[in-house]
Amino acid sequence: MTRRRSGAVSLLTAGLLLAAVLQSPARAATTAAPTLTITPTTVGNTFTTGQQVQLGFSTDATTVRWTVRDAGGTEVARGSAPAATLNGQLTLQISTPGWYQTDLTAVGADGTTTLGGTDFAVLTPHDFSTSTETRIGVAGALAFGGAANPGLEAVPLMAKGGISTDRDEAFWSAAETTKGVIQFPQRYKDYKAALDANNIDFLNILDYGNTLYYPDEAPATDEQRAAFTRYAVAAVDQWGTEHTTYELWNEWNLRDPNGAAEASPENYVALLKTVSAAVRAKHPDVKLAGPSLAVINDWQGWFTKFADLGGLDYVDAVTIHPYVQPLDPEASVTYVNTIRSIMAAHGSTKPIYISEQGWATGTNPSAVSEPAQARDLVRGNLLAYGNGVARYSSYNFMDSGTDPSNVEHRFGLVRNRLDARGALVPKPSYVATAVLARQIDELPLIGQTRFGSNGYDVAFNAGGGQSVHAVWSTTPGVVAATAPAGSTVQVTNLYGVETTLTGDAGGHVWVTAGPDPVYLKGAITGPMLPSVRFAMSVGPEIAGDPATGMLTFTNPDSVTHAFTVSAGGAETSGSVAPGATATTPVTYPAQESTEPRTYSATVTVDGRAVAVISAAGTATPPLSVTGSHVLNGSGQGLLRFRVTNASSHDLPIAGLDWVSGTASGTLLADTTVAAHATVQADVSLPDASTWSANLRRTGLADIKASGKLVPVAAPTVAKRHTVTLDGAIDPAVARQPAIALEGTGTPPVTGWGGPSDLSGSLWLTHDDQNLYLSAKVTDDVFSQPNRAGNIWGGDGIQLGMTAGAPGEATSTQEIGVALTDAGPVDTWRWTPTSRTGTPPGVQAKVMRDEAAHTTTYEIAVPWSTLGFAAEDRLLSATVVLNENDGTGRRGWLTWGKGVAETKNPALFNAVRLDPAAAP
């Protein structure tokens, strides 16, 4: 997008090299940055409403600055104070339930900074001490060693979060270290005592081998099974049957497949049969679960064989692990249904437990974001209960490590004990799980219903004519819940923020159903009803500027309604006539924070709060850095750095440090970037394949950027000329060397009969507003039966374009133009996919001369549509001429590749925009 520029800087022009730029030394070393360490004074930084939030830290800085954001990305606190005054404790006046992220900046006496932060939770008080709930579980890892074990202090944190079952272990190899002597370590006994004290059930995994008896992990002989069975009986003797269930093994169908037991259902059932008989003989009330099935490989066949062998006769519940990461949990419903159908075919209706399911966060390509983990775990729980699953255990309670790229390290609801953000501090999923637990504690399931195309409603009986409905949709939209006129409905979002609505005169309240489940509690009857009564949209937000949008109220009723919209701390009022639609602006205060945002508004109609409407967005940084491979007027290559300020106020920068191969330097030192402006600086093109840049801002985090550099040897030259779009090639264009298209398709056009069948000539020109493509095509039969996004299948042209040299940019503009059999000339943009549709500003004139069998194309593509800077004078392009003689697409001719054959902009041709006018 072309932007108005203010104060642009050029350090190199027309081949002039400033040696001082290229040879400038690295910035002078500064004194050591201040230290900053998070030291929670409350376990897991988890508080309840009414408690004072106090966050512990240590630093040798002189000043500490802080910003606190809620789970919706909205700043709720900001401040600065001398470190000595804070004395290692940040006290916050925050009592609204939710998950909060705190960013800290430690500032040294010389202005150097260290960035850090922590997270905290505020939960509504809830007494779980006598609850009989067992549905919400976690894998606790309390039996593990090292940093993967959260420690006993984590158990009260589980309880506070509403965790009612801990799936954990008391390993055989640790219990029997001397053959024939089984003694469980004291640390196992200690964590079981902590679970009991906090009213948390124990799902005890009886697992793994013992080298005292056999070298493999899993038992495979009667003798080995007998040894394991003695351990199993000892475990039930030790831990009892009250508030304890035993799961035999963990994922037998995957573990030790190359050992003697072969991970086979036959060996598993043999072990299960032996263990079941022995423990039930001594403890007839024992609850035994299995097979802890991993849904991978031929798991259906494995489980069917398990059932054929009678395995279902020896368990009281069936346990499965339906991981689907990074997909959403709805993808796992089929696994539960398949297990249940196999059970039904064998006459079993025993309970099903999901004893593991999770979503890892972090930087691994298969990971999900932390908010996505929160909603996926809650939806996983709710889908399980809605489908009749008796228990659900999230994997796992605490991150087992601190490496963000290691999936196994980042499944936790809370952060690792060694995490820089603080030991056991909550991730969003901990708070979301705690809210779920509070909403459904001891409430029996009513059932699950669906609404719209992707909506879910899982309902629970709250007694006294009240019910709790957990509602979400993977396709966001507003729904109406039916409740008696004048009755109250308590709406609670994923993180515990509550809003009270009142049924309108027609007996409805409205909420937005989106990816995050929302809870409605009240005298609710009937299904959720998709509704168009209310809608809200918010435009892109630039950090530092207010976010603005619009709320729409469509009134289908026969009376006029007065309404008030509360959003962003302000209210606007209006009225809407019968059958009419009214709109009102919504504004959210400016904030400096970035990342995803949730915008909410409460709508009051005729004096009753009847709707909570929300929209999602992202607050983007006001400053951005780009590097571009450009050409000056004489064709010399340059590396051009730009710093763009998208906000409405001027912003200072300390400098831009850049590196490319052995070259480096600092640009734009102590520069102010005006509002809605760009500053730029050039260096001669380094002999390197990559570049990186670091934009420094005093007291704020650096902004980093990087990219590729590809040499350009002989670019196609596009002269300066404004094309008149009249369907005839301009004389000035026709005098330029033409780009020939003749038999150059890959694969060749089917049955191509030579130039008279299909051939063409292309010309590229430009001016300050547009890139122009002119083409004269010979085509014996013209056919374009398609429209819009399908025009690639008929006669027409496709253009692929990127900024810079081929292969430097990853974002491709793919635009098509065709004269359709219906009469109009259609234009279409396929990529970027976020902008698919009719490309704005593109103009085209296409004329067919049937007698001459020629088609003339003149196309003008605005630089503003492409998002390229024309003054950079370098772009990459390919042109595809599609062929259809009335029997379907026969193939294509191309200049360059990278669109028709494969989507690869590295195969485009380089184009130089010559400032000289076409003669």
- What does the DSSP assignment read for 346-395? TT----EEEEEE---BSSSTT-B-HHHHHHHHHHHHHHHHHTT-SEEEES
C-alpha pair distances (Å), 143 with each of 189, 191, 234, 615: 10, 8, 17, 43
Distance CA 677, CA 253 (A): 61
- Residue 748 — pLDDT band, cuts 50, 70, 90? confident
**Average pLDDT, integer, range 608-618:** 96
> Is pLDDT of 467 > 90?
yes
Contact of 605 with 528, CB cutoff 8 Å: no
**Average pLDDT, integer, range 292-314:** 97
Q: What is the pLDDT of residue 32?
A: 85
Region of residue 388 (phi > 0: left; psi between -120 and 50: alpha; otherwise: beta) = left
Does 26 or 696 have the greater pLDDT score? 696
> Is pLDDT of 611 > 80?
yes
Distance CA 266, CA 271 (A): 9
Paired strand residues for 372: none
Token pair listed for 95: 């009592």
**Which amino acid would we find at residue 274?**
T
> Is pLDDT of 906 > 90?
yes
Distance CA 629, CA 468 (A): 58
Paired strand residues for 132: none
Contact of 680 with 8, CB cutoff 8 Å: yes
- The candidate with the shortest Cα–Cα distance to 90, out of 66, 113, 112, is 66
Q: What is the pLDDT of residues 813-845, one digit of tens each?
A: 999 999 999 999 999 999 998 899 999 999 999
Residues whose CB is less than 8 angstroms from the CB of residue 222 and which lie 6 or more positions away in sequence, other chains included? 274
Q: What is the pLDDT of residue 742?
A: 78
Judged by average pLDDT, the poorest of 111-115, 531-535, 608-612 is: 111-115
Region of residue 452 (phi > 0: left; psi between -120 and 50: alpha; otherwise: beta) = left
Name the percent of the chain lying above pLDDT 90: 92
Contact of 670 with 713, CB cutoff 8 Å: no
Strand pairing category for 758-766 and 663-667: unpaired
**Which amino acid would we find at residue 199?**
N
- Residue 700 — pLDDT band, cuts 50, 70, 90? confident
- The candidate with the shortest Cα–Cα distance to 859, out of 877, 874, 835, 872, is 877
Q: What is the pLDDT of residue 14?
A: 30
* H helix runs in 686-754, sequence order: 731-734
Q: How many CA atoms lie within 13 A of 168 on its CB side?
A: 32
Contact of 670 with 654, CB cutoff 8 Å: yes
Q: What is the mean pLDDT of the chain?
A: 94
Q: What is the pLDDT of residue 701?
A: 79
Distance CA 804, CA 708 (A): 10
The DSSP letter of residue 337 is H
Contact of 641 with 681, CB cutoff 8 Å: yes
Q: What is the pLDDT of residue 4?
A: 26
Number of residues that make up the chain: 919
Contact of 247 with 292, CB cutoff 8 Å: yes
Run of H or E residues at 278: helix 265-282
3-class state of residue 302 by DSSP: helix
Distance CA 214, CA 199 (A): 38
- Residue 745 — pLDDT band, cuts 50, 70, 90? low
Q: Give the Cβ contact number of residue 812 at 10 Å.
A: 19
> Cis link prior to 34 (omega < 30° from 0)?
no
Q: What is the pLDDT of residue 18?
A: 29
**Residue for token pair 């001459």:** 852
Residues whose CB is less than 8 angstroms from the CB of residue 810 and which lie 6 or more positions away in sequence, other chains included? 905
Token pair listed for 167: 């799936």
Torsion sign, CA atoms 352, 353, 356, 357:
positive
Q: How many CA atoms lie within 13 A of 15 on its CB side?
A: 4
Distance CA 808, CA 709 (A): 6
- Residue 8 — pLDDT band, cuts 50, 70, 90? very low
CA-angle at 129, arms to 125 and 134, nearest 5°: 105
C-alpha pair distances (Å), 475 with each of 478, 514, 601, 602: 10, 6, 19, 21
Q: What is the pLDDT of residue 2?
A: 27
